[in-house]
Amino acid sequence: GIQVEQSPPDLILQEGANSTLRCNFSDSVNNLQWFHQNPWGQLINLFYIPSGTKQNGRLSATTVATERYSLLYISSSQTTDSGVYFCVTGDSGGYQKVTFGIGTKLQVIP
Amino acid sequence: KAGVTQTPRYLIKTRGQQVTLSCSPISGHRSVSWYQQTPGQGLQFLFEYFSETQRNKGNFPGRFSGRQFSNSRSEMNVSTLELGDSALYLCASNMDGGGEKLFFGSGTQLSVL
């Protein structure tokens, strides 16, 4: 199956700082999504981005499918950005057998 | 539109018992998938249902099973519970499962004593 690697595994930021989270995947994928899991366990879909670049407020994401990686940018971080960020992919065979990365645990301190 | 609803939110069971978890997808979504999250193994895919049929299955023992009803609601069952089954169980839905945006419920936290 597809292997998904995320880096860094842990990140501590001062409020207001910027950061880049990376996701590498081992094979062609038919979808690539970024999620934020809050301290209560809820997974929020940030981006559905199999290719290209998208922006949503302070967050943006870029996926370069031909080079098998995706980046999530967080600018002007806030304490509410704390939590775990997951990169999730599905193989190009379709259907929903997705693979999660191990996640990046982000802590934003005031 | 209401989001994905999972019940119950918390559950405590003892070894050897069985448990049933419920998931109601977003209205109009026909694909429901289930995941187990543990500190040691992270998030792992359990299975996916579409139109009452299991289309895909992860690497879990047969004690883990599920079903989907005609209204797309899904249930997951774990029989003969083991301590290692303690986990957050999440379900997600989307329109037809084929590489689309996933929407997750809040999860059921299962503790096996």
Tens digit of each residue's pLDDT (9 = 90 or more) over B17-66: 999 999 999 999 999 999 999 998 899 999 999 999 998 889 999 999 99
A98–chain B nearest CA distance, Å: 7
Mind listing the pLDDT tens digit for each residue in B90-107?
A: 999 988 766 788 999 999
What span, in angstroms and rounded, lies between the C-alpha atoms of A27 and A67?
10
Cα torsion angle, A39, A62, B46, B102, sign: positive
What span, in angstroms and rounded, lies between the C-alpha atoms of A86 and B7?
24
Beta-bridge partner residues of A5: A24
pLDDT band at A95 (very low <50, low <70, confident <90, very high): low
Closest-CA residue of A relative to B105 is: A42
Please, how many CA atoms are within 13 Å of residue B50, restricted to the half-sphere of its CB? 14
Residues of B within 8 A of A30 (CB-CB) are: 98-99
pLDDT band at B4 (very low <50, low <70, confident <90, very high): very high
Closest-CA residue of A relative to B55 is: A95
Beta-bridge partner residues of A74: A19, A59
Residue A24: the pLDDT is 96
Which contacts of A71-76 are long-range, i.e. CB under 8 A and separated by 24 or more positions?
Answer: A71/A20, A71/A21, A71/A22, A71/A23, A72/A20, A72/A21, A72/A23, A72/A34, A72/A46, A72/A47, A73/A18, A73/A19, A73/A20, A73/A21, A74/A18, A74/A19, A74/A20, A74/A21, A74/A106, A75/A18, A76/A16, A76/A18
Statement: residue B12 has pLDDT above 60:
yes
